[in-house]
Amino acid sequence: MPLEELAKRFGVHRATVNRIATQAGLQARRVTLSDHRQLEAARLYAEGMTLREVAKRLNTGKDAVRAAAVANGVTIRKGIAVEN
């Protein structure tokens, strides 16, 4: 079950779920994207979407999107701080 889903179900932060799972000796599974989805992720990111936006659209994690972008030669942009 995805970490985010567990966090939502139990009303806790994702980091709490991760800490409990680690303490229990569980290892996170890596979700890999198919070649087609990797290309799509890289394209969407290169067109200006954020890692988070692409991940949400493709129902995957930001790390998978970042890996797909890098694997397809896309430079990862630095985050921009927004001031209020």
Sign of CA dihedral 46, 59, 65, 36: negative
Q: Which domain holds residue 48?
A: 31-77
Better-scored residue on pLDDT, 84 or 79: 79
Average confidence (pLDDT) over 3-17? 89
Answer yes or no: is 23 within a domain.
Answer: yes
Could you tell me which residue, 83 or 22, shows the higher pLDDT? 22
Same domain, 69 and 43: yes
Locate 63 and state its tokens.
Answer: 């790390």
Global confidence as pTM: 0.63
Same domain flag for 24 and 45 = no
Tens-place pLDDT, residues 14-71: 889 889 989 999 887 766 789 999 999 999 999 999 999 999 999 898 889 999 999 9
Of 9, 57, 77, give the one whose Cα is nearest residue 66.
Answer: 77
Same domain, 23 and 35: no
Say yes or no: 52 and 23 in one domain: no
Q: Give me the pLDDT at residue 80, please.
A: 57
Give the per-residue pLDDT at 14. Answer: 86
19-40 burial, b for 16+ CB within 10 Å, e for fewer? eeeeeeeeeeeeeebeeebbeb
- The answer to whether residues 18 and 37 belong to one domain is no
What would the two tokens of residue 40 be? 């799509």
According to the model, what pLDDT value does residue 84 have?
40
